Structure 1
Amino acid sequence: KQHVEVTDDLELSYSDHLDVPKMQLAVRIDLTQYTTQPELHRYVSFIKGRMGRKVSDFFMRFVGCEEKVDIKAQNKQLIAQVDDYLATEQLSTEEKQVSRGVVADYYKQKIASGEDINVSELAAKLPKNEEQQSDFSVFNAHLEQPLEPQFQPDRAALKPLAKFSGQGGGVTLSFDRNLLGDKVHYDPVTDTLVIKGIPPNLKDQLSKADKD
């Protein structure tokens, strides 16, 4: 992509640059990682965009490598394990939400800097069990399928940290986590969800439909 800038002599200078955010297919090879720690198989990473699985697979075959770490699965597993870990600690709902906010901030920082998620680094930011000398790293290590020590962050992982969402049977729902128990109440016995304070635009639609 071409861009223009003004030089010190007040002249226009034209130059080309890579528009990275709009890249759909790209590969990055970390030569330092390849030279120093090739056994980790972490020296190749991809931008696969929304080109579809077939195109992504073709691109990987073209480059001549195979996927060793499922990034989306690792990120999804991390968020699930954070929830499981917080559930084992004696924390209030507010404290759990604060911890999820810490994880979200950590994710945003790593995405912005282009760095990997580091499980040990993240563990240091989460509550610890001082009596048992245990933290999230220890919790992860004792799981049947522990997380990789490091992996690329996936922006999609941020959503479940802040919201509950789901769809099925023609119904799509999404609401902030902090509303559960306040404006949103779930009864597991009757499998019902009660929402207090319906959004005005939805309320207006329902009112009009009720008059039809």
Structure 2
Amino acid sequence: MSIVNLIVHEVQKEEGESKAMLVARPNENPIDSDAEQLADKVTHLFNRSGMNTGQFSNPEGSEEGSKLPALLHKHFTGSEFDDFAAFSKACAAEYVRFLESVSEAEGGLLWFNHYELGGSHFLFIVLLKRKTGITLGDDLSFAQVNPLETDKLHMALRINLSAYHDRDDTRYIAFRFGKAPKWESEYFTQFIGCDEPKVAAKETRKLVEAASAFCQSQSLPSKAANEFKRAVAEQCLEKAEEREPLELTDIARQIESRFSAEQASKFLEIAESDAFQVEKEIFVEKAALKKLTRASGSNRSLTLSFDTDLLGESIEFNADTGELTIKELPRSLLKQLMSLES
């Protein structure tokens, strides 16, 4: 990541108050080692689970809704901002407009970070907060400090500026709320002006279900189906590690190379059908991929989970009787069972 512009503004508002005050920094913050270190922490926290994605409802902004798209349209040229300080100050004022409508909300620090990565331009808008702590001075006396909270994000937005500027048909907005209450996430979504945000976990589950439906539609043998699902899971994990969206066409190409062009077309037909409605590209939620490679279930007295590669090997399933036969039990489990018999 190469930081291009960076600035922080403060929004002062106490819980229960209806008015907020913007303390705007007149000039950009210097891009030094401290700024780069904080940028790395913010990026790491942002790429955890719980992502939402979407597009602007009106890419050029509107009078009634959020003015964020209009500010981007005005100030971002496609490769740079004409006046990043002025842009960020106007965005912060727009944020305050939505914040003041929620009496329960508190203020914080708005972090604006324009950076370049892989030839594309991105913008982070992140709400940071201070926390109260105690330190020891040089004379070993206690003193109160108010460092930034860097172990969690409250609310954060990332825009792929290049995709937005070129009007790509992609979900160029990604945002997350941490554990923010509903009323807080609602005003932040309104500030963004996002059209029908999609939750990464839900979108990933839809992809997993579409992959399973494809295997059933093609009557793939158990071993071939498991190999295909594992390949899809690995492809998804790779994109997740790269912090990039997965495109459906990536999976279609894999199906074409493993099977045929007709089956690749069939997969796309299933994924895009009314039953699944998988987006053309999604941000992958790692935890939601488990059903591709593991079978699990539980009731009040039993919990069972295993790698689907074991089916047909050390685990046999009889579909007619609904019975599951497990061989080569884990040593720890086998030891417990033996002790119960003695």
Smaller-chain TM-score bracket: 0.7 to 0.9
**Aligned residue-pair number:** 195
Query: Given the alignment of the two structures, is residue 93 of structure 1 paired with residue 93 of structure 2, yes or no?
Result: no
Structure 2 residue runs of 5 or longer lacking an equivalent are: 1-31, 46-151
- The offset of 1:55, in angstroms, is 2.9
Deviates more, 1:187-196 or 1:163-172: 187-196
For 1:138 and 1:85, the matched residues in 2 are separated by: 9
CA distance in 2, matches of 1:162, 1:70: 22
Mapped partners of 1:186, 1:114: distance in 2? 37
Residue 46 of structure 1, CA deviation = 2.1
2:167 to 37, 46, 51: 37
CA distance in 2: counterparts of 1:139 and 1:88, whole angstroms: 9
Matched, 1:58 2:188: no
Residue 179 of structure 1 and its aligned partner are, at CA, apart by 1.0
1:128/1:134 contact within 8 Å kept: no
Q: Which residue of 2 aligns with 1:47?
A: 176
Distance of aligned partners of 1:29 and 1:130 in 2 relative to their CA distance in 1, 3 Å threshold = closer
C-alpha deviations, 1:65-92, integer Å up to 9, x for none?
5652232221111111111112222543
Of residues 146-155 and 156-165 in structure 1, the stretch that sits farther from structure 2 once superposed is 156-165
Is 1:77 the counterpart of 2:206? The answer is yes
1:140 aligns with 2:271: yes
Alignment-derived partner of residue 125 in structure 1: 254
One-letter identity of the residue aligned with 2:163: Q
d(CA) in 2 for partners of 1:14 and 1:32?
A: 26
* Partner of residue 5, structure 1: none
Counterparts of 2:314 and 2:161, CA distance in 1: 52
Q: Per the alignment, in what secondary structure is the counterpart of residue 134 of structure 1?
A: helix
The structure carrying a bigger strand percent of its residues is 2
Q: When you count helix as a share of all residues, which structure comes out higher?
A: 1
Determine helix, strand or coil for the equivalent of 1:17.
Answer: helix
- After TM superposition, the score normalised by the length of structure 1 is 0.76
% same residue = 24
Which residue does the alignment assign to 1:104?
233
Q: Give RMSD over aligned pairs.
A: 2.9
Which of 187-196 and 98-107 deviates more?
187-196
Q: Which residue of 1 is the match for residue 338 of structure 2?
A: 207
1:21 is matched with which residue? Answer: 44
Query: 1:150-176: per-residue Cα shift (whole Å, max 9, x none)?
Result: 111111133222211122223211111
Question: What is the rounded CA distance, in whole Å, between the counterparts of 1:123 and 1:31 in structure 2?
Answer: 27
Give unpaired runs (5+ residues) of structure 1. Answer: 1-12
Q: Please say if residues 293 and 307 of structure 2, whose CA atoms lie closer than 8 Å, have aligned partners that are also in contact.
A: yes
For 1:166, which of 279, 282, 297 is the aligned residue?
Answer: 297
Amino acid at match of 1:179: L
1:150 to 272, 281, 305: 281
Letter in 1 for 2:313: D
Deviates more, 1:114-123 or 1:183-192: 183-192
Partner in structure 1 of residue 327 of structure 2: 196
The 4+ residue runs of structure 1 with deviation greater than 6 A are: none
Structure whose CA Rg is larger: 2
Q: Contact 2:271–2:277 at 8 Å: present in 1 too?
A: yes
Q: Which moved more, 1:139-148 or 1:116-125?
A: 139-148
**TM-score, normalisation: structure 2:** 0.50
Determine if contact 1:163/1:174 at 8 Å carries over to the other structure: yes
Q: Cα deviations across residues 19-47 of structure 1 (Å, max 9, x unaligned)?
A: 23344442212333333438x68332123
